């Protein structure tokens, strides 16, 4: 009996069940968008534009979702109020969303974190690509628009990140150049990215900057959690200690919350027990 083949088949089946039971929803899209916002208010029109872009991308990918129509003002207003936010000038063109509760209400932020985490498996591969590309831009201290980045460099970095977090995704796949090109096709079709003879890419439109940040921030909490757990295991390894898994989970949960409150890690997603 081929145990490895059987294990792969079982993993694939589990992934399919998981994918069907956790579809992408408008709540998850809006939650992820809101968590990226820093100001106390945001124009509803801007939120609709951003959520529509993500919706179109999910439709292009053929993601499992309950959504049948793209975000509209009435639909977004209903979901925003359901998430616990207040609207100013509801139903009008200049409608705004009051985001100030996020600064003090950790319960609300945890709810948004939980919802937004549902998107992570759906955009896992492109999130790794975006995360690494963003690190390249920041290391060069260059303007993202018009700065070429070698595809081979992005691919090698992305492959490492995808392999590192392959168990977080539950989907058995290997990052290959063709796979990466497939993930980038949506952005080139929108005119946000330009391919230079299949050797390098460069951003040519400001809308890509938002998607670059959005996708890289989707996977950032996983890396923060991974590194924190790794440090904890490193401190425990080699010592004559016996810890219950439940106790370790609780301590890591508390530690990650403290790191978030200190500003060491940027997202509250990292302290969710599902992520740990």
Low-confidence ranges of the chain (pLDDT < 50): 170, 172
Domains located in the chain, CATH noted:
3-119 (1.10.10), 124-271 (no CATH)
pLDDT of res. 17: 58
Question: Which of 155, 161, 149 has the alpha carbon at shortest distance from 216?
Answer: 161
pLDDT of res. 110: 83
Q: Over the Cα atoms of the chain, what is R_g?
A: 20
Q: Is 68 exposed, middle or buried (0-12, 13-18, 19+ CB in 10 A)?
A: exposed
Q: What is the 3-state secondary structure (H, E, C) of the chain?
A: CCHHHHHHHHHHHHHHHHHHHCCECHHHHHHHHHHCCCCCEEEHHHHHHHHHHHHHHHHHHCCCECCCCCCCHHHHHHHHHHCCCEEECCCCCCCEEECHHHHCCHHHHHHHHHHHHHHCCCCHHHHHHHHHHHHHHHHHCCCCECCCEEHHHHHHHHHHHHHHCHHHHCCCCCCCHHHHHHHHHHHHHCCCEEEECCCEEEECCCHHHHHHHHHHHHHHHHHHHHHHHHHHHHHHCCCCCCCCHHHHHHHHHHHHHHHHHCCCCCCHHHHCCCCC
pLDDT of res. 143: 64
pLDDT of res. 167: 60
> For the whole prediction, is pTM greater than 0.85?
no
| Cβ-based neighbours of 187, under 8 Å, separated by 6 or more | 193, 208, 211
| Cβ-based neighbours of 149, under 8 Å, separated by 6 or more | 133, 136, 137, 200, 201, 202
pLDDT of res. 275: 73
pLDDT of res. 170: 45
């Amino acid at each position: 009996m081929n145990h490895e083949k059987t294990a792969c088949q079982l993993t694939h089946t589990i992934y399919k069940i998981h994918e069907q039971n956790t579809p992408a929803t408008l709540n998850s899209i809006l939650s992820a968008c809101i968590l990226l916002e820093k100001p106390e208010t945001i124009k509803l029109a801007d939120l609709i534009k951003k959520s529509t872009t993500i919706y179109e991308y999910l439709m292009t990918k053929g993601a499992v979702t309950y959504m049948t129509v793209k975000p509209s003002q009435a639909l977004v207003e209903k979901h925003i109020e359901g998430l616990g936010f207040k609207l100013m000038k509801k139903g009008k063109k200049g409608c705004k969303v009051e985001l100030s509760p996020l600064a003090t209400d950790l319960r609300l932020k945890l709810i948004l974190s939980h919802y937004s985490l549902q998107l992570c498996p759906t955009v896992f591969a492109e999130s790794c690509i975006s995360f690494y590309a963003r690190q390249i831009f920041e290391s060069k201290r260059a303007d993202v628009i018009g700065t070429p980045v070698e595809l081979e460099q992005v691919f090698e970095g992305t492959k490492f990140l995808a392999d590192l977090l392959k168990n977080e995704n539950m989907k058995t796949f290997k990052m290959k150049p063709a796979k990466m090109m497939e993930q980038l096709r949506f952005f080139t079709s929108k005119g946000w990215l330009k391919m230079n003879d299949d050797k390098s890419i460069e951003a040519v439109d400001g809308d890509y900057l938002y998607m670059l940040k959005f996708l890289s921030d989707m996977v950032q909490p996983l890396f923060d959690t991974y590194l924190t757990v790794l440090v904890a295991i490193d401190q425990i390894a080699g010592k004559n200690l016996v810890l219950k898994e439940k106790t370790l989970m609780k301590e890591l949960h508390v530690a990650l919350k403290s790191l978030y409150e200190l500003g060491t890690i940027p997202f509250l997603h990292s302290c969710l027990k599902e992520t740990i």
